[in-house]
Structure 1
Amino acid sequence: MTTPAGSGTGFGSVSWWGLSPAVDLQAEGPPVDPDSQAENPELNVLLLGSVDGRHLLRTLARAALWPRRRFHFYVLENNLEAVARHILIFSLALEDPEKMGLQERSETFLEVWGNALLRPPVAAFVRAQAGRLAHLVPEPDRLAEQLPWLSLGALKFRERDALEAVFRFWAGGEKGPEAFPMSRLWDSRLRQYLGSRYDARHGVSDWDLHMKLHDRGARVIHTREFRRWRDTGVAFELRDSSAYHVPNRTLASGRLLSHRGERVAARGYWGDIATGPFVAFGIEADDETLLRTSNGQPVKTAGEITEHNVAELFREMAAWGHPRAAEGDPEQVQGGAEGSPEPAPVLEPFTVHFLPLDSAHTLHHKSCYKGQFQLLYVACGMVHLLSPELGACVAPRGRLIVELAQFLVDLRQEQLHAFSRRVGELAQAAGFAPQLGGKPSDTFARFYKAGDSAPGHEDQAVESGTPPPEVLAPPLEATDWPSEDRTQPLEPGTPPSEPLKLTSESQASLLEASVPPTGSQAPKSENQNVPPETKSPIPDL
């Protein structure tokens, strides 16, 4: 059966990469209070569903352009696999330059982040890092010593145990490609999504690219690279195509299914097969020459722009933590040769705090979070969590930035407009007002804490008005799912499963509410048959 346009099923139920370009969160937040007496003022940011850490990396890379501040990033995701990918990506970005050069780090990041299949050397790196992290997670003292920027103290004990299980699966607890047959899972998902259009999949991908993504501002995505990703899941082909054959286990997630009255744990790929990872780093660039056109065609592809942007990002991050030099001392600013200086040993310049998966509705109950955040970022798949209680956690003069669904190819224009209207209503109910003036944006909606003087600009992408019946964000009271039905990471030994077409009873489902989910959420009940590969029922994870 062909998937109807507008259903949103191409995005899947688990998000592995963002649907908006990386932004500098310091530029989005309020300026430093001039009356502040702190030598290094803090910037506290709460991010709901940022997924891949791109905004955090961009913020750290651009920090040298701003007065020195200490960053506290509070990250809330819907699944622990996304938390694990955050940790792996940051470990890679902060890898010692003497152990791993800039080009190797950049290429490894691109493959781990956006490719379904890896080269053997990259897969070996993932296994080694995952094994190391699996030993560090249960030992807080060693974790604080080796990864001082990471804080897992807010996670529940069972979440930390499940996070360790994710790393152990990545480390190769189950040997061989059959532990996670990515190529077969990708093709099965594609067949399910396209239905009778599968044999014309190249025409479908060309239509989605030229008539949707290009029209919405992603013209640099080339037909060849988009078609290759749709067919194989390989977005960034940095070597010969034959080199990519090892499944990327970091894209695996689990579901709890119902099979003959029993609960069964199944592992598969339920991520994006429609848009791709090109938007986050591949459609904008600080170097305008990368966006030039010749005879009406871009001279660079999204893959090439992504490679350049990520390399520049990691180059700028290499000097992170180096004490700011006095103005006019370029040698001190640059820190010397190609290798980067070591981070300051006494004061770590930033901390990433991971919050419990289901804590969005309870943060305001804790005094340490009430009025704590100068900036709140909400991904398009987490808009339903925007509430007055969450707004109470934002400080006076605080800002709100919401990712819109501009690059979801399954959504029609009227659904995109309805989503923008609904975002405006939820933000207003949470105590925010649109920023005034400025350049209109179809990618982000920006607000400030109501009651403050209007600082900044109003985003014309957010319109007022009553949303239509197919409102894109579900009611707030319908978003508190039972914790026992939430997707949990699978222990090693669980057989893989082909991705199934699951019908969620939750109002947060894309099929019913058209909100692209960011996390892995298990339906309350499933009646589909489990494929033969899933043989061992697991009554409780």
Structure 2
Amino acid sequence: MLVFSLVLEDPAKMGLQERSETFLEVWGNTLLRPPVAAFVRAQADRLAHLVPEPDRLAEQLPWLRLGTLKFRERDALEAVFRFWAGGEKGPESFPIRCLWDMRLRHYLGSRYDARRGVSDWDLHMKLHDRGARVIHIREFRRWRDTGVAFELRDSSAYHVPNRTLASGRLMSHHGERVAVRGYWGDIATGPFVAFGIEADDESLLRTSNGQPIKTAGEITQHNVTELFRAMAAWGCGKAAQQDPVEVLGQADGTQEPAPSRESFTVHFLPLGSAQTLHHKSCYKGRFHLLYMACGMVHLLSPELGACVAPGGRLIVELARYLVDLQHEQLQGFTTRVAELAQAAGFAPQPGARPSETFARFYRSQDSATNCINPAVESKPSAPEVLAPKPEVLDQPPEVLDSSPEAMNLPSEDLMQSLQG
């Protein structure tokens, strides 16, 4: 919601470069510049007031639909926005520097004192060997040490914690389960592989003396800027609300209908809906594209496949850039993805180029015809949403040390997929 609000921001208020830089900082940095932090607070405060009021939400954000969310989920969403807006003052409410260092210490263990050497090894022997050669050692080290991936200004300008990276977990403290707020995102690969290792402009990928002339950060900034430029030209923002019968004047005084711009709507579904969508007949054969991240592959099932229309496509992110997986595990993961896709009624997409990054499938007509309608009349039970009391979230940092096992990334589902 925050990203869409940024993309659809009025160009008169925020230019193209400022929008792209704001996106990169919010998306890829643990620390923000004060102007970017102010933008996040303003947008979060606006969303916090709109979420509980459906009428105002539909009026001001016509592209957003929250009708399928439970009331408790809306309350939790409002609480998240209020935290982003600075409802709990002071950096101590989200000490990201401390949280990042704690995660890094637990991840590296006895290798922490040699973390620079570990960063060099992971970059050169893993990411570079897997195709991400444009990632420069300096930017990768900086991100591994501080969590700041895109340093678009002087380093001293980044000092405000990025609250959008916060999340909650239940952890053990003195024998009791308590809810704590912390950072449990990526600390191994980095955000560079998303937009920073490929480009339509081949000049960005040129090398000199065997070394790339552009860094992954520079390529990322170029790609994101071009993406925002394309979306602006496509007619996002106010153009989506314009009357399609609006006319344009021509030089000879005649008028012609303005080119209609296709509008869009984003529907937020309840938590855990991937496992319950098949219970409602309205979702059977509803979707034409299903995208799954590598950490969500375990949710790919025949029931979820039945929600994809015949001929619809399935794109699965492979684990190519997970530095903790060995070559044999990567191959096993790819094989497991193909097995799950076939069991869900998908077949390899004909004509698709071989890729180590994505696996592409399509929903075959035979599987769509032979599948049994899983829709039932009973409604699925409401998923549980973690919405702890504010005083519970304000536990001292030492609470996070009480259960080191919980500091790891949730990789159980991924390993389950690897093991079949």
Please say if residues 149 and 190 of structure 2, whose CA atoms lie closer than 8 Å, have aligned partners that are also in contact: yes
Map 1:27-426 → 2, pairs under 5 A: 87-321=1-235, 342-346=239-243, 349-426=263-340
Query: 1:157–1:483: structure 2 CA closer, same or farther, 3 Å change rule?
Result: closer
Q: Between the two proteins, what is the percent identity of the paired residues?
A: 78
Aligned twin of 1:337: none
Instruction: Render the CA deviation track for 1:253-281: whole Å, top value 9, x for unaligned.
Output: 01112334433111111110000110111
Please say if residues 42 and 85 of structure 2, whose CA atoms lie closer than 8 Å, have aligned partners that are also in contact: yes
Please say if residues 196 and 216 of structure 2, whose CA atoms lie closer than 8 Å, have aligned partners that are also in contact: yes
- Cα offset, 1:232, TM superposition: 0.4
* Cα distance between partner residues in 1 of 2:99 and 2:410: 22
Could you list the runs of 5+ residues in structure 1 that have no partner in the other structure?
1-86, 323-339, 454-479, 517-541
* Cα distance between partner residues in 1 of 2:134 and 2:52: 44
| 1:510 and 2:406 matched | no
Instruction: Render the CA deviation track for 1:18-75: whole Å, top value 9, x for unaligned.
Output: xxxxxxxxxxxxxxxxxxxxxxxxxxxxxxxxxxxxxxxxxxxxxxxxxxxxxxxxxx
* Cα distance between partner residues in 2 of 1:172 and 1:277: 25
* Cα distance between partner residues in 2 of 1:396 and 1:190: 45
Please say if residues 174 and 492 of structure 1, whose CA atoms lie closer than 8 Å, have aligned partners that are also in contact: no
Query: 1:374–1:276: structure 2 CA closer, same or farther, 3 Å change rule?
Result: same
Please say if residues 397 and 452 of structure 1, whose CA atoms lie closer than 8 Å, have aligned partners that are also in contact: no
Query: 1:248–1:198: structure 2 CA closer, same or farther, 3 Å change rule?
Result: same
- Cα offset, 1:513, TM superposition: 4.9
* Cα distance between partner residues in 2 of 1:111 and 1:187: 19
Aligned residue identity for 1:183: R
Instruction: Render the CA deviation track for 1:470-499: whole Å, top value 9, x for unaligned.
Output: xxxxxxxxxx99955x6x255544215464
Aligned twin of 1:30: none
Instruction: Render the CA deviation track for 1:342-389: whole Å, top value 9, x for unaligned.
Output: 434247611111111111121112121101111111111110010000
Query: 1:140–1:307: structure 2 CA closer, same or farther, 3 Å change rule?
Result: same
* Cα distance between partner residues in 1 of 2:238 and 2:159: 36
- Cα offset, 1:319, TM superposition: 2.5
- Cα offset, 1:439, TM superposition: 2.0
Could you list the runs of 5+ residues in structure 2 that have no partner in the other structure?
245-261, 368-379
* Cα distance between partner residues in 1 of 2:151 and 2:56: 37
Please say if residues 376 and 400 of structure 1, whose CA atoms lie closer than 8 Å, have aligned partners that are also in contact: yes
Judge which range, 246-255 or 435-444, deviates more. 435-444
CA RMSD, Structure 1 to Structure 2 (Å): 2.4
Please say if residues 270 and 383 of structure 2, whose CA atoms lie closer than 8 Å, have aligned partners that are also in contact: no
TM-score by length of 1: 0.67
Query: 1:435–1:343: structure 2 CA closer, same or farther, 3 Å change rule?
Result: closer
Instruction: Render the CA deviation track for 1:510-531: whole Å, top value 9, x for unaligned.
Output: 2575269xxxxxxxxxxxxxxx
Query: 1:161–1:224: structure 2 CA closer, same or farther, 3 Å change rule?
Result: same
Please say if residues 319 and 342 of structure 1, whose CA atoms lie closer than 8 Å, have aligned partners that are also in contact: no
Query: 1:439–1:512: structure 2 CA closer, same or farther, 3 Å change rule?
Result: closer
Aligned residue identity for 1:124: A
Q: Which has the higher helix share?
A: 2
Query: 1:424–1:361: structure 2 CA closer, same or farther, 3 Å change rule?
Result: same
Q: What number of residue pairs does the alignment pair up?
A: 383
* Cα distance between partner residues in 2 of 1:140 and 1:216: 47
Query: 1:364–1:444: structure 2 CA closer, same or farther, 3 Å change rule?
Result: same
Larger Cα-atom Rg: 2
